[in-house]
Chain A
Amino acid sequence: MGCCYSYFCDQDSSSQNGEPSERTPLVNPVSNSINNHQINCDDYLIRNANSLPKKTDEQSALNRILQETATDVIDIAALDSHNLQQHEYLDRMKQYSLKLQQACAANKLPQKNNKSILQDIPQPEKVLMTAPLSSSDISLISSIVNKATTAISDIKIEHKEELVASFQIP
């Protein structure tokens, strides 16, 4: 078995040149690429002329991995920076409702039964949220009606003049 990376790799040159041993790295040491950065560009081209196609392959593979990772990962920090504007919300709402209607029509879903008794009230929650009549007002109006009923029942018609008038017909 080999090891991925070993601290002794650089020092243990004998094993690198010879047959693969237990200390032979499976992956080429990263130090190679780090060293390459330190050399001049021309030198790099000359010295690595033979290994250039291999390098580009590696580079493209790395790029591919990077791209795949970028497509797979959802960058939340980047999402936060994009704030939806009001008109964008409205646009999306229209778009989604249109899509929903199309989907409903395509699948022939039954229309939602709108049997609400408050359907003529645009915002029923506002009406339902209002505070009910206070108990003091209830007792007030009840007592007023009771008093008025008794007071009105006391009203009697008193006749002061004779309702039947007799004509003195000779």
Chain B
Amino acid sequence: MEKQLDRVMDEVLTVPGISGCIFSDKQGLCIGVKGKASAESAGIMSAIANQVAKLEPDNKSPIIVYENDNQSCIIQQQGDITAAIYKTGII
């Protein structure tokens, strides 16, 4: 069941600098969220990943980074799963 996913999310949050993570499916349904992240952003994450994947069709799973001065959001879609992590501090 989803205990495995919970374990993965807990593991992700132990990485220094990561403040939150969110997982969603291809349609934008939130599968799991933990830390400083909102389940409402799951749809946006999937939509962004889908659009970016069209820019470079040869690249199977592009990594998207949004950043401001003190935080960055890293998104990657692989197969049907889109993962996004929020990282504090400049990359």
Residues of A within 8 A of B (CB): 131, 133-134, 137-138, 140-142, 144-152, 154-156, 158
Contact = CB atoms under 8 A, between A and B. Distances in A.
Contacts of B5: 148, 151-152, 155
A17 B23 CA distance: 115
B51 to A, nearest CB: 16
B63 interface: yes
B: contact size bracket: 20 to 34
B46 to A, nearest CB: 13
A140 B18 CA distance: 11
Contact of A141 (B2, B31, B63): B63
Contacts of B11: 147
A69 B61 CA distance: 72
20 contacts: A131-B91, A133-B65, A134-B91, A137-B74, A140-B15, A141-B76, A142-B61, A142-B78, A144-B21, A145-B61, A145-B83, A148-B23, A148-B31, A148-B32, A151-B5, A152-B23, A155-B2, A155-B4, A155-B5, A158-B1
Contacts of B65: 133
Contacts of A149: 78-79, 81
B78 A146 contact: yes
B91 A137 contact: yes
Nearest to A149: B81
